[in-house]
């Protein structure tokens, strides 16, 4: 269809083309720990533009129902969670996690009416401490996601979330672009060594390490985006980011540090919930690593730096540093310590993509060679959406057999072919194939 363009990719509601394709995948809903107890308080969730109510029923299973009671429309958020169902506070109508109406107690008992009522319900499953749901036609539901991080013990994993006030695609694109690392995330005395103050020698920015060479491979799960920087005389340093369709980015580690996965999950067209996971496939995270992860300096918000839910309509995951306070930018630090003056890689990424506005008008861009990752992701999404729409073709990475990718950082001999070497380290378990 000729009319699929970047704008189409940004619209995620139930009746949109992209919304349809996204509903071919399982969606992350909540942490299991956000619904800790059977029959505990329901929790509001907004996914792909839909308002839903999540609850853990008496059996410990999670349900995800439409917000409005099908009787007269009161919100089930205020409902009573009891005896394997959520009961509306208005007239006591009760629904189980499959949407079946169990009880209409203000109606005569002989009424068989309740058998004909169904509430919107999406099936939920838990894996790896995450609640997942499938919002597409149930007959199309693939097996659960099978990412490596879902299978490691909790001690090997650290996960946080934060809200981002812009469209999911523009947020995701930041991860497809390895060339911003030396700038946006740069420390003035480290990655950009000559720059001690703003008056320093700007020539240093041109240091080769800041201009990686890109190469991209199409795979059965999405893309591998290699960024190559020369190291010393005869070596290349390859950082290979994986784009796993539709909203997963696998970020290469440094040395034996944990691997990272970012999920850029569409709340609606103008809001994204960012999930960030650090995990080590082989060992528990060390206390020192956990301290780093909690510090707020790297990929995760410092847990003490969220807004209290009462002042954050977006729920409990809204960071204190916000567009309303210019993200607490420290201009003195920007002159003397860090390229951005913003504290935390997560925040630097957020500012870069949020400050484009809710949905950035891509016709205003000037893309260059360093943006090949961004370009390829859009192309892949557009091509996939066209094939999904026109031919009903199942999109890549719906099948969890394709979920076994890893991001990779590796040193190779100068000018070695990375595609020969990347396959093994980029495989988490099982194997994956290049696209035919």
Among residue numbers 102 through 161, which ones bind a copy of itself (CB under 8 A)? Answer: 103-109, 111, 113, 117
Q: In this complex, which beta carbon is closest to a copy of itself, that of residue 109 or of residue 436?
A: 109
By CB under 8 A, which span of 124-132, 263-271, 291-299, 346-354 interacts with a copy of itself? Answer: 346-354
**Chain-centre distance of CA 139, in angstroms?**
25
Position of tokens 């894996």?
A: 127
DSSP character string of 185-236 = T-BTTTTSTT-SSTTS-GGGGG-GGGS-EEEEEEBSSEEEEEEEEEETTTEE
Nearest distance in Å: CB 399, a copy of itself: 32
First and final CA of the chain: distance in angstroms?
Answer: 23
Residue 75 interacts with a copy of itself (CB under 8 A)?
Answer: yes
Q: In this complex, which beta carbon is closest to a copy of itself, that of residue 58 or of residue 155?
A: 58
Site for a copy of itself in 300-329 (CB under 8 A): 310, 313, 324-327, 329
Preceding amide of 90 cis, omega within 30: no
Q: How do strand 213-218 and strand 222-231 relate by DSSP bridges?
A: antiparallel
DSSP character string of 280-301 = -SSSPPPHHHHHHHHTSSSSS-
Position of tokens 């099948």?
A: 399
Site for a copy of itself in 44-73 (CB under 8 A): 58, 68, 70-73
Distance CA 262, CA 276 (A): 5
Q: In this complex, which beta carbon is closest to a copy of itself, that of residue 213 or of residue 423?
A: 213
Distance CA 21, CA 382 (A): 11
Position of tokens 């991001």?
A: 407
Among 124, 150, 210, 398, binds a copy of itself (CB under 8 A): 210
Among 233, 368, 391, 392, binds a copy of itself (CB under 8 A): 368
Q: In this complex, which beta carbon is closest to a copy of itself, that of residue 38 or of residue 129?
A: 38
Residue 183 interacts with a copy of itself (CB under 8 A)?
Answer: yes
Distance CA 299, CA 162 (A): 11
Q: In Å, what is the CA distance from 80 to each residue of 34, 58, 99, 226, 428?
A: 17, 12, 15, 51, 42
Site for a copy of itself in 7-36 (CB under 8 A): none
Nearest distance in Å: CB 43, a copy of itself: 11
Nearest distance in Å: CB 178, a copy of itself: 9
Nearest distance in Å: CB 375, a copy of itself: 11
Residue 179 interacts with a copy of itself (CB under 8 A)?
Answer: yes
Residue 392 interacts with a copy of itself (CB under 8 A)?
Answer: no
Contact at 8 Å (CB) between 76 and 100? Answer: no
Q: In this complex, which beta carbon is closest to a copy of itself, that of residue 369 or of residue 435?
A: 369
160 forms beta bridges with 276
Among 155, 189, 295, 369, binds a copy of itself (CB under 8 A): 369
Residue 91 interacts with a copy of itself (CB under 8 A)?
Answer: yes
Distance CA 206, CA 88 (A): 63
Q: In this complex, which beta carbon is closest to a copy of itself, that of residue 238 or of residue 327?
A: 327
Q: In this complex, which beta carbon is closest to a copy of itself, that of residue 150 or of residue 227?
A: 227
Among 16, 32, 156, 211, binds a copy of itself (CB under 8 A): 211
Residue 100 interacts with a copy of itself (CB under 8 A)?
Answer: no
158 forms beta bridges with 278
Show the site string, 229-268: x = touches a copy of itself by CB under 8 A, - = not: ----------------------------------------
Distance CA 353, CA 338 (A): 18
Contact at 8 Å (CB) between 410 and 423? Answer: no
Residue 351 interacts with a copy of itself (CB under 8 A)?
Answer: yes
Contact at 8 Å (CB) between 398 and 243? Answer: no
């Amino acid at each position: 269809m000729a009319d699929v363009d970047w704008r189409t990719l940004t619209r995620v509601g139930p009746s949109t083309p992209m919304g349809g394709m996204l509903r071919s995948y399982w969606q992350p809903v909540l942490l299991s720990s956000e619904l800790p107890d059977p029959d505990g308080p329901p929790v509001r969730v907004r996914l792909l533009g839909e308002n839903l109510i999540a609850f853990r029923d008496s059996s410990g299973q999670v349900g995800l129902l439409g917000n409005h009671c099908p009787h007269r429309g009161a919100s089930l958020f205020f409902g009573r969670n009891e005896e394997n169902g959520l009961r509306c506070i208005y007239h006591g109508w009760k629904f189980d996690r499959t949407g079946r109406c169990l009880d209409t107690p203000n109606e005569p008992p002989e009424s068989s009416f309740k058998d004909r009522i169904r509430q919107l319900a999406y099936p939920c499953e838990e894996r790896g401490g995450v609640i997942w749901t499938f919002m597409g036609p149930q007959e199309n539901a693939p097996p659960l996601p099978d990412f490596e991080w879902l299978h490691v013990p909790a001690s090997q994993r650290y996960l946080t979330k934060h809200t981002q006030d812009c469209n999911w695609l523009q947020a995701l694109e930041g991860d497809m672009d390895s060339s911003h690392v030396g700038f946006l995330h740069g420390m003035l005395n480290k990655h950009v060594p000559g720059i001690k103050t703003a008056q320093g020698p700007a020539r240093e920015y041109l240091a080769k390490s800041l201009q990686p060479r890109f190469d991209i491979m199409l795979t059965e799960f999405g893309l591998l985006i290699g960024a190559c920087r020369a190291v010393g005389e005869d070596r290349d340093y390859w950082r290979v980011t994986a784009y796993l369709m539709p909203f997963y980015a696998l970020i290469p580690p440094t040395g034996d540090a944990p691997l990272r996965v970012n999920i850029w999950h569409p709340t609606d067209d103008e809001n994204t919930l960012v999930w960030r996971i650090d995990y080590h496939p082989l060992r528990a995270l060390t206390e020192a690593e956990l301290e780093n992860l909690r510090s707020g300096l790297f990929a995760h918000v410092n847990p003490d730096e969220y807004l209290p839910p009462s002042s954050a309509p977006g729920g409990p995951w809204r960071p204190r540093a916000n567009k309303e306070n210019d993200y607490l930018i420290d201009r003195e630090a920007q002159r003397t310590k860090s390229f951005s003056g913003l504290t935390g890689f997560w925040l630097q990424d957020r500012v870069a993509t949020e400050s484009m506005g809710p949905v950035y008008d891509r016709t205003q861009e000037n893309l260059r060679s360093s943006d090949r990752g961004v370009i390829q992701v859009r192309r892949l999404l557009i091509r996939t959406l066209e094939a999904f729409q026109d031919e009903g073709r199942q999109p890549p990475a719906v099948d969890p057999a394709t979920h076994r990718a890893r991001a990779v950082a590796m040193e190779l001999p100068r000018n070695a072919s990375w595609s020969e070497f990347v396959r093994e380290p980029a495989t988490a378990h099982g194997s994956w194939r290049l696209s035919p």
